[in-house]
Amino acid sequence: MANSAEYPNLQRRRLLQAIGAASMAAGVPEVLAATASPRGGAGWPAWEILAGSSLSNDGRMIDRSASDLRTTSEGQSYALFFALVCNDQAQFDRILGWTVDNLAGGDMSKRLPAWLWGRDDEGRWRVLDDNPASDSDLWLAYTLIEAGRLWRRPALLEIAKGMLAQVCEREIVDLPGLGPMLLPGAQGFVEEDYWRLNPSYLPMPLLRRFATVDPRSPWPAIARNTLRMLQDTAPKGFAPDWTAWRPSGFFTDPVKGAMGSYDAIRVYLWAGMTDPRDPVFKPTLAALHGPLARLRAQATMGERVDTRLGSETGIGPYGFTAAVLPYLQSQGESVLAAKLRTTLPDVARLRADPPAYYSHNLLLFGSGWFDRRYRFRADGQLRPSWA
């Protein structure tokens, strides 16, 4: 695998040609990079700043907060989603092309992307760990489904269907006593007598959308089991980063313990962005009542919380604040949410500070939703402001 600044564009050109040919065959005019719609990103400075500092010309999202300048499938999936929210097809195609070429061996419909790519000890740029990460797989598949619908590019939907078939085969297991559930990855999360799970890997809008694409799939059951997981693992109303299951029920993850922090913050984000008409909306927020009481009292989000005791330590970075904006807004705390919105870094600060990969992505998700740049319908469909 070559350095991203040097790798050939042949596979990407073939990918885009194939997408275009398939769409034309279906009778739908295909819009490729050369004829992309006006750049929607021009109206979203926070995304422009992250893309300008961390997105390479050929579509690689670089985590500059990491010393090895790595790229993860998570970063690629988030970038692809934000390009769609901005209605930027040229940028979308670059990100997709790099992901397919470098993480999925040239065909993401047949091979789930590796989670980690970077420079090895000998200075070569390549896949460093080919285990897929299921949260990224879901976001990539979802974004392809919605891009195919919104931009009338049916070939993108076919790629997504291929991904979801692989997820069902490699990353979903039937847990005794619970039913189907998504593992965090294809390998490494099944122990002798228990299974490790990550609650933040299961955004409800994505599960709803997958269920409409394939009604015979396990996604409706996974949605029900996700609600049970949140209810059973948050005794004080705070979600853990990780949990585990054995036939007797959920229990504290033996590896990560009962801590809720940088993973769990996304659980509140996804819960807040879920459409209020979704039947799990209210019970999910009721299960996750801990941050609401904390924010009402102190207007800050702790960096770490012991989910068994409800005790918090530290103050979360600005990404944590952005992540709870939808959570607050969806529970009627509009004044508090608006107040917290004013504490987030402005454009000048975002430009001046070193790139903060994770906080900046949380900022884009949380503030982007709060500012109505996008919404999710009850069936999971994306509603970007440009549409």
Residue 215 banded pLDDT, cuts 50, 70, 90 = confident
Could you report the per-residue pLDDT of 224-239, keeping only the tens digit for each? 999 999 999 999 999 9
Residue 42 banded pLDDT, cuts 50, 70, 90 = low
pLDDT for 301 beyond 70: yes
Q: What is the structure's pLDDT at 36?
A: 35
pLDDT for 341 beyond 80: yes
Confirm if 287 and 274 have CB atoms less than 8 A apart.
no
Mean pLDDT of the chain: 91
| Both tokens assigned to 34 | 């050369």
Residue 18 banded pLDDT, cuts 50, 70, 90 = very low
Q: What is the structure's pLDDT at 361?
A: 98
Span 96-122, average pLDDT: 97
**Amino acid letter, residue 8:** P
Tokens 């990918």 correspond to 15
Q: Does the annotation count 135 as an active-site position?
A: yes
Confirm if 165 and 111 have CB atoms less than 8 A apart.
no
Could you report the per-residue pLDDT of 202-211, keeping only the tens digit for each? 999 999 999 9
Residue 66 banded pLDDT, cuts 50, 70, 90 = confident
Residue 354 CB-half CA count within 13 A: 6
pLDDT for 51 beyond 60: yes
Span 61-79, average pLDDT: 95
Q: What is the structure's pLDDT at 27?
A: 33
Confirm if 243 and 184 have CB atoms less than 8 A apart.
no
Residue 68 banded pLDDT, cuts 50, 70, 90 = confident
Of 74, 88, 146, 171, which one is the catalytic site residue? 74
Tell me which residue of 293, 325, 330, 287 sits closest to 311, measured CA to CA: 293
Which pTM does this prediction carry?
0.90
Of 63, 88, 135, 333, which one is the catalytic site residue? 135
Could you report the per-residue pLDDT of 22-33, keeping only the tens digit for each? 443 333 333 233
- 3-state DSSP of the chain: CCCCCCCCCHHHHHHHHHHHHHHHHCCCCCCCHHHCCCCHHHHCHHHHHHHHHHECCCCCECCCCCCCCCEEHHHHHHHHHHHHHCCCHHHHHHHHHHHHHHHCCCCCCCCCCCCEEEECCCCCEEEEECCCEHHHHHHHHHHHHHHHHHCCCHHHHHHHHHHHHHHHHHCEEEECCCEEEECCECCCCECCCCEEECHHHCCHHHHHHHHHHCCCCCHHHHHHHHHHHHHHHCCCCCCCCCEEEECCEEEEECCCECEECCCCHHHHHHHHHCCCCCCCHHHHHHHCCHHHHHHHHHCCCCCEEECCCCEEECCCCHHHHHHCHHHHHCCCCHHHHHHHHCCCCCHHHHHHCCCCHHHHHHHHHHHHHHCCCEEECCCCCEEECCC
Span 29-51, average pLDDT: 59
Q: Does the annotation count 130 as an active-site position?
A: no
